[in-house]
Structure 1
Amino acid sequence: MSEEFIVSARKYRPQTFDTVVGQKSVTSTLRNAIKNNQLAQAFLFCGSRGVGKTTTARILAKTINCFNRTEEIEACEVCESCKSFNEGASLNVYELDAASNNSVDDIRNLIDQVRLAPQLGTHKVYIIDEVHMLSNSAFNAFLKTLEEPPKHAIFILATTEKHKIIPTILSRCQIFDFNRIKVKDIADHLAAISVKESITADPEALHLIAQKADGALRDALSIFDQIVTFAGSNITYQNVIDNLNVLDYDYYFRVVDLAQKEDIPNSLLLFNEIMEKGFDAHNFIIGLSNHYRNLLVCKDVRTSNLLEVGEVAENRYIQQAKEVDSPTILRSLGVLSKTDVDYKQSKNQRLLVEITLMQLCSLKQELEKKNP
């Protein structure tokens, strides 16, 4: 019988503070709090989806109750408390999804549980996900318990929308803001998973998946699974752009080259080829704006680390940035930004993009007229 498939987001969910990706400042602070026995009784974890809020909450819950923590303040994974947690049978961790349990009765049931002391370990940890979904009356019912909980109770609230949480709740919590995860960190994590899964993956392909995930590791892992299903154990850059319907960055390099040569006919033909492949013209404009932005950050060594692309693409950007001067890049960005704003109001969107390409091809002439 074949082994049951488990999605990567679950299979490779971090189990220790050390393995949480891209949230070093948060995990270091939490470790120090456990080490110095200075744990707050209520935490609020804020951040966009897929950045590790619930994962970190679970690791914190497990580590607090571990009987013999390591010197690095990590859970030992072998004591009775860790084993019951890993098997999903721990009575010390109570998870509530506020999206579907947001009434006063749900919170009252939680408050009744809070009074009970833990049977094993020192603390009972209550993780409330999507806490901003609680109704106003549920928030109010929760206030007193959050302000004066029993000594054994710790609350970890997680939310993607901090601005929806009432100030009286915010003032009772220690707030941790989770960062969007950097493209490089996601790509490195995917590379490590590829090795474990015996998958050969082109670094450019992993970078593209990481960019598409937009700072959410869970999204990146879902896309990665999708590509593996599509391409098997050999992931190439071409596989990724075919499967995700992403425009190959090679097109943007060609557009800039044609603009430099002031070649309007071939620019329009290239755009026609892009349209015939089924790509959205607005996404093309946004992608081209991003391309010019990348050329600009390559101009200075101090800003070059803002370039979040693979090594092969980076070398191409550096090369092309030498060929286009800064005033041309800035004027191009101005033209593209205006097109981006005007696009939705335009009655003839294709013509708008074609005029934009013509303008990009004519910028050199304009600049020469201004600075003869």
Structure 2
Amino acid sequence: MMENFVVSARKYRPADFKSVVGQEHITTTLKNAIKNNHLAQAFLFCGPRGVGKTTCARILAKTINCENRQDDQEACGECESCVSFKNNSSFNIYELDAASNNSVDDIRNLVDQVRYAPQKGQYKVYIIDEVHMLSNQAFNAFLKTLEEPPKYAIFILATTEKHKIIPTILSRCQIFDFNRIQIDHISNHLKYIAEKESVDFEEEALRLIATKADGALRDALSIFDLIVTYSAGKKVTYHETIDNLHILDYDYYFKVVDALIEEDLSKVLLIFDEILKKGFDGHNFIVGLSEHFRDLLVAKDPATVELIQVSENAKQRYLQQTEAASTSFLLSALNIANQCDIHYKTAKNQRLHVELALMKMSKLPQAFKLANLAAEEAKKKA
């Protein structure tokens, strides 16, 4: 019989505050609030998707009802309350998805439930996900309860769109803003999971997944599962990751910039042709090239080199290439690439539009040489 596969995002969902990734400012505040008995009655957790809002809401709900909390304010995980929470059978925690239960009646039912004190445990916790989806009437039906809830009721509202929540609700909540999770934190977490699952990995591949996830840990874990399934051999390699995610290997950008510095236009156009033949979009390429120029500019200064979120190996390549290119070349090329990006959608012949930008870039070194000569001549005459 086949064993049921559990996706990593669920299998490795944090069960306590210390295992939450990249949100220390929030977990520390919540633990201190529990320790000093300073718990607000209404919380609003905001932030992009997949960064741990609902997870933190559940951990908070579990921790405040734990019968023998530990000294570091973490739940014990063994008492009756913690076990019932783990088995999804807790009568003290109610989860409502406002995306599908957004009418006045749904909120009235919830408000009716709030009147009854918990049979066991100290708090009844109401977690309302995607709270911005509530209708205006539903928000209004909720206001009074939110303002004067019974002392045993705690509301945790979670949303990806804080701006859609009416000010009267905002003013009644303690607001926590969740960060996008940093690439380093995501790739370290992926490393931990890969080791747990006995998956061979290349660090560069995990970093690529972390970059592609754009700050959302859940997205990173979904991509990770996809690549592991694809490779079948329990391996996550850089090349398989690139093929699977249909990402342009930054190797191409290094080659293009090398050819531009050498003023080898034919080589640049041939590389671009190869990229198009691989099924990549010209717009994708020009946006990636702009980012590459930006990274090269950032690598010019030791103070900003840390802003390039790549492995040590790749960082050395950036440092090498940035030495061969002048700041004026990089700035002018970035400007041309940026203009190309802005006007790409309106261009009738998009391939030619990108090629024209590449032609202009390949003439930059010569233009700077001539400008320098002219400046030197002028100095001599003066």
Do Structure 1 and Structure 2 share a fold, with TM-score over 0.5?
A: yes
Q: Is residue 18 of structure 1 aligned with residue 1 of structure 2?
A: no
Secondary structure of the equivalent of 1:63? helix
Q: Spell out, residue by residue over 1:122-145, the C-alpha distance to the aligned partner (whole angstroms, 9 max, x if none).
A: 111100000000000000000000
Give distance in 2, aligned partners of 1:120 and 1:369.
83
What residue number does 1:79 align with? 79
Q: Please tell me whether Structure 1 or Structure 2 has the larger radius of gyration of its CA atoms.
A: 2
What residue number does 1:223 align with? 223
Secondary structure of the equivalent of 1:128? strand
Residues 1-372 of structure 1 mapped to structure 2, 5 A cutoff: 1-232=1-232, 233-372=234-373
Q: Spell out, residue by residue over 1:19-77, the C-alpha distance to the aligned partner (whole angstroms, 9 max, x if none).
A: 11111101111111111100100000010100110001001111111111112111110
> Which amino acid counterpart does residue 111 of structure 1 have in structure 2?
V
Q: Spell out, residue by residue over 1:258-291, the C-alpha distance to the aligned partner (whole angstroms, 9 max, x if none).
A: 0100000010000000000000110111111111
Secondary structure of the equivalent of 1:345? coil
User: Is contact 1:295–1:329 with CA below 8 Å preserved after alignment?
Assistant: yes
Give distance in 2, aligned partners of 1:158 and 1:370.
58
> Which amino acid counterpart does residue 277 of structure 2 have in structure 1?
E
Give distance in 1, aligned partners of 2:263 and 2:279.
26
Structure 1: gaps (5+ residues) = none
Give distance in 2, aligned partners of 1:230 and 1:268.
33
User: Is contact 1:209–1:223 with CA below 8 Å preserved after alignment?
Assistant: yes
Secondary structure of the equivalent of 1:180? coil
> Which amino acid counterpart does residue 177 of structure 1 have in structure 2?
D
| Cα deviation, residue 329, structure 1 | 1.1
| Cα deviation, residue 370, structure 1 | 2.8
What residue number does 2:380 align with? none
User: Is contact 1:204–1:311 with CA below 8 Å preserved after alignment?
Assistant: no
TM superposition score normalised by structure 1: 0.99
Give the RMSD, CA atoms, in angstroms.
0.9
| Cα deviation, residue 367, structure 1 | 2.0
Give distance in 2, aligned partners of 1:142 and 1:92.
19
Give distance in 1, aligned partners of 2:200 and 2:273.
34
- Relative to structure 2, which stretch is displaced further, 217-226 or 355-364? 355-364
Aligned length: 372
| Cα deviation, residue 311, structure 1 | 2.3
| Cα deviation, residue 2, structure 1 | 3.2
Secondary structure of the equivalent of 2:363? helix
User: Is contact 1:107–1:141 with CA below 8 Å preserved after alignment?
Assistant: yes
What residue number does 2:378 align with? none
Secondary structure of the equivalent of 1:43? strand
> Which amino acid counterpart does residue 173 of structure 2 have in structure 1?
C
Give distance in 1, aligned partners of 2:308 and 2:262.
25
> Which amino acid counterpart does residue 297 of structure 1 have in structure 2?
V
| Cα deviation, residue 120, structure 1 | 1.9
Q: Spell out, residue by residue over 1:210-268, the C-alpha distance to the aligned partner (whole angstroms, 9 max, x if none).
A: 11111111011000110011012111101101111111110000011001000000100
| Cα deviation, residue 116, structure 1 | 1.1
> Which amino acid counterpart does residue 77 of structure 2 have in structure 1?
E
Give distance in 2, aligned partners of 1:42 and 1:358.
59
TM superposition score normalised by structure 2: 0.96
Secondary structure of the equivalent of 2:146? helix
| Cα deviation, residue 359, structure 1 | 1.3
Give distance in 2, aligned partners of 1:308 and 1:335.
24
Give distance in 1, aligned partners of 2:290 and 2:367.
20
Give distance in 2, aligned partners of 1:35 and 1:138.
34
- Relative to structure 2, which stretch is displaced further, 65-74 or 104-113? 65-74
Structure 2: gaps (5+ residues) = 374-382
- Relative to structure 2, which stretch is displaced further, 204-213 or 115-124? 115-124
